[in-house]
Structure 1
Amino acid sequence: MTVGIIVSRADSASVRIGEQLRERADWERAGTGADGASEEAANAEAAEGEETNTESAASADDVPAPVARYVREGFELLAFEPWHLELDGVAAAFDDPDVVVFASRHAGETGPLLTAHFTGNFGAAEHGGSDRALAPACPNAHRAVVRALAEHAPEGYDVGMECTHHGPTEVGAPSMFVELGSSEAEWGDDAGAAAVADAILDLEGVAPETERTVAAFGGGHYVPRPTRIVEETDWAVGHVAAEWCLDDLGDPREHRDVVERVFAASGATRAVVDGEKPRLRDVIDDLGYGVVSETWLRETTGVALDVVAALEGELTGVDEGLRFGDPAREAGADGAEPATDALIVDHPDDLWADAHSVDPDAALAAAREHALAYTTEENGNRVAGDIAFPDADAYDAYVDALVGLLREKYDEVGRDDGTVRITDTAFDPAAAAERGVPEGPKFGRLADGAAVEVDGETVTPADVARERTETYGLSNPSEGKGN
């Protein structure tokens, strides 16, 4: 696994990041065919250059020769004179990199910001690369670098992601920009540059791609939904077409090839879409890719995809209320495939509702702890319907957990193979009325366990209590729906 790093001497922030990279790790200077000026001199030269990294890309077929080369285990750092955007095909200058990182400036009205994004053009190539072309993304490495930027960011810096924009579009390897922004003050800030350098160095051994990748469509340039997905789930995000990118694209039905390229260049089989966008959704469906919700990505985090597919097929979809329990996530972690042998049973809805009245959080926790997956209502707050377990023992443990909650409420709770029976002695309004107790405060005191006086006679709670028995039926695990 080799990370190729590009420093542009036309970019003062890039030069500063390069200096921090070399200070923070041991590198060996390698021959480049050109000695090149010192990085300190390049800093001074870059200060006189352009203030944006969106210059038009050069159209030369050959990759410019690097002016400096440094190597260490797992990394190769090359410095070039041209802007990053002019470096189409630059992977050929490295020794077979797995991923290429452009250490770059970010320019904008965003304050101190560390950011990362992929490159490409959904319409005309106004800032490097080719029209309607996308460079191969590295979603897993990108997720790692965004999280590392958050870890290393100095006080006062925000961390975020951007949509896919500008060139180059023909890098020759999976690639991304990792940027220091957003003005000259930050471009010369050693602390900000060090944070970017540390995040890049943290990519050691990180694979560029992952099967848990989605493409994203819609939203603003700084992509809040994809950022949440990367920061808060185990899903990575490939190319992102923000609203303005989709405007550049035009009617997706006329540019199906570009939409398909988004998935191919991202290594994604699913997409998240902000807003309705029926034409885009139809094209995505026609191409054979699925559109999923942010909720789906959150709920499937940690669950093997074959387990997700099997349990959604057996029960219902996540967007219809399916939730996964800890056993499903544990199975995903060790590579097991329990869903094909899942025990599917009718959920004891009434029993659960009674336990929920004792402790709502504990009742939900019982399902999460013991079930592979369970159907829910009320935005996931109530368990109802079918439920899947790894085996009959897990089902028994679940019922026992609910029974334990009921014992906090009732005088006696018993369980046999097919039922849970509760016995309770409680205030009986009818019996109180027979003893002449008027409805109102005295009813309340008796219900709370206090005696009251009625016409000179003492009425105790025991006088107006009645024993109540209720039975909840249970599914027979040997007759589970999944067997």
Structure 2
Amino acid sequence: MRAVVYSSLDPAGKGIASEILKSITCKAINIPKSKFSCVNEELNIILAEFIEDVLYFDFLDDVFGTAGIKVNYYIILSRHSATSGIKSLTVHHTGNFTGKALYGGRPYELGIANPPLAYELLRQLVKVSSKYGLNDFKVTYEVTHHGPTSLEKPVTFVEIGSSEREWVLKEAHKVLCEAVLNTLSKDLPKCTPSFGVGGPHYAKIFSERALNYTECYGHIMPRYIIKEIGNNTELLIKLFRSAISRSIPSTKAIVVLKKVRKNIKDILRRISYEEGLEYKVV
């Protein structure tokens, strides 16, 4: 079973869920803590609404487990906030690379990534956004950030950004609804699960490589995190290994941007050799 979840507090998540409910038949069920929940057996999905903010959905394993439901992975429907005001449709995985956990999750902990799922969601967002005329929206991976981080199943965020104007936009709700349902209606594609290192928060290069070279990204560590950690080699190695291991399916490649510092590249090259992973500098 796949769980598609959202928050009562989130106009984007509620709007996307409303469109999903218009598109499928969904039988009401009881999930502890949920304000609303239903199941569509044809797609093998559960749609569930909770009153908590999505950043603090670390309880999902417990409530679905209590209901006797085995979840394979989670999709979280969400708003995306940015002071830049960039219109965006984004996909990303969760985690805190540093000791700061300002937006949910635990310090130095990464959620379990789902590279093929995020990859197909990205592809569908590109395809469907043009259909609905949202050509001024940036469709992109974001780097790994915020909670929840402690779930035992993979969790992937799909989001509308970056202000309330976009969060309530019906066309955006329809795009994400269709992208999610298209993704869930078929087997996930074959691709190369990859760990990306470098670049800004909106991971343009990794998004382009995914679309052009079937590299599907799990965790992505941006340059601002590398800068913040500095020369703490022991911590960097620990985080790199965590990003590689916290992925289902297993990571097969490390992709590093050219501008990443040489000492970081050397560490990643060594780890790739030790773990039998493909190593690329792009």
User: Is TM-score (shorter-chain normalized) higher than 0.5?
Assistant: yes
**Alignment match, 2:50:** 80
Q: Deviations over 1:53-72 (max 9, x none)?
A: xxxxxxxxxxxx11211110
* Counterpart amino acid of residue 155 in structure 1: G
Does the aligned pair in 1 maintain the 2:6–2:13 contact within 8 Å? Answer: yes
Specify which of 67, 74, 81 is matched with residue 100 of structure 1. 74
Does structure 1 residue 160 correspond to structure 2 residue 136? no
Q: Deviations over 1:33-72 (max 9, x none)?
A: 5xxxxxxxxxxxxxxxxxxxxxxxxxxxxxxx11211110
Does the aligned pair in 2 maintain the 1:13–1:105 contact within 8 Å? Answer: yes
SS of structure 2 residue aligned to 1:79: strand
**Cα 1:184–1:162, aligned 2, differ >3 Å: closer, same or farther?**
same
* Counterpart amino acid of residue 291 in structure 1: Y
Whole-Å Cα distance in 2 between the matches of residues 71 and 199 of structure 1?
Answer: 19
SS of structure 1 residue aligned to 2:157: strand
TM-score norm. by structure 1 comes to 0.52
Whole-Å Cα distance in 2 between the matches of residues 88 and 249 of structure 1?
Answer: 26
| Cα displacement (A) at 1:217 | 0.6
Does structure 1 residue 151 correspond to structure 2 residue 127? yes
* Counterpart amino acid of residue 80 in structure 2: H
Whole-Å Cα distance in 1 between the matches of residues 192 and 104 of structure 2?
Answer: 29
Whole-Å Cα distance in 1 between the matches of residues 189 and 211 of structure 2?
Answer: 16
Does structure 1 residue 268 correspond to structure 2 residue 251? yes
Whole-Å Cα distance in 2 between the matches of residues 222 and 185 of structure 1?
Answer: 20
Alignment of 1:18-57 (within 5 A): 18-32=17-31
SS of structure 1 residue aligned to 2:34: coil
Does the aligned pair in 1 maintain the 2:120–2:188 contact within 8 Å? Answer: no
* Counterpart amino acid of residue 178 in structure 2: D
* Counterpart amino acid of residue 170 in structure 1: S
Whole-Å Cα distance in 1 between the matches of residues 86 and 269 of structure 2?
Answer: 39
Specify which of 126, 135, 152 is matched with residue 111 of structure 2. 135
Whole-Å Cα distance in 2 between the matches of residues 248 and 87 of structure 1?
Answer: 27
**Cα 1:126–1:180, aligned 2, differ >3 Å: closer, same or farther?**
same
**Alignment match, 2:37:** 69
TM-score norm. by structure 2 comes to 0.87
| Cα displacement (A) at 1:293 | 3.6
| Cα displacement (A) at 1:247 | 2.6
Whole-Å Cα distance in 1 between the matches of residues 174 and 86 of structure 2?
Answer: 17
Does the aligned pair in 2 maintain the 1:140–1:206 contact within 8 Å? Answer: no
Matched residues, percent identical? Answer: 23
Alignment of 1:299-448 (within 5 A): none
**Alignment match, 2:270:** 286
**Alignment match, 1:121:** 96
Structure 1 unpaired stretches of 5+: 34-64, 295-483
* Counterpart amino acid of residue 129 in structure 1: G
Does the aligned pair in 2 maintain the 1:4–1:76 contact within 8 Å? Answer: yes
Larger radius of gyration: 1
**Alignment match, 1:412:** none
* Counterpart amino acid of residue 273 in structure 1: V
Does the aligned pair in 2 maintain the 1:213–1:237 contact within 8 Å? Answer: yes
SS of structure 1 residue aligned to 2:160: strand
Does the aligned pair in 2 maintain the 1:141–1:206 contact within 8 Å? Answer: no
Does the aligned pair in 2 maintain the 1:139–1:210 contact within 8 Å? Answer: no
Does the aligned pair in 2 maintain the 1:140–1:209 contact within 8 Å? Answer: yes
| Cα displacement (A) at 1:248 | 3.5
Q: Deviations over 1:7-53 (max 9, x none)?
A: 101111111111111111111111345xxxxxxxxxxxxxxxxxxxx
Name the Cα RMSD after superposition: 1.9
| Cα displacement (A) at 1:209 | 8.8
Whole-Å Cα distance in 2 between the matches of residues 155 and 211 of structure 1?
Answer: 28
Give the count of matched residue pairs: 262
> Bigger relative contact order, structure 1 or 2, given CA contacts below 8 A and separation 6+?
2
- Stretch of structure 1 that moved more, 73-82 or 206-215: 206-215
Whole-Å Cα distance in 2 between the matches of residues 244 and 206 of structure 1?
Answer: 36
SS of structure 2 residue aligned to 1:134: coil
* Counterpart amino acid of residue 224 in structure 1: K
Does structure 1 residue 178 correspond to structure 2 residue 158? yes
Q: Deviations over 1:289-318 (max 9, x none)?
A: 442144xxxxxxxxxxxxxxxxxxxxxxxx
Q: Deviations over 1:96-142 (max 9, x none)?
A: 22120110001122432111100101102121101111101010010
Whole-Å Cα distance in 1 between the matches of residues 193 and 220 of structure 2?
Answer: 12
Q: Deviations over 1:242-300 (max 9, x none)?
A: 11122333335221111100111132132111224222222223322442144xxxxxx
| Cα displacement (A) at 1:145 | 0.3
Whole-Å Cα distance in 2 between the matches of residues 285 and 112 of structure 1?
Answer: 36
Specify which of 217, 225, 233 is matched with residue 205 of structure 2. 225
**Cα 1:219–1:71, aligned 2, differ >3 Å: closer, same or farther?**
same
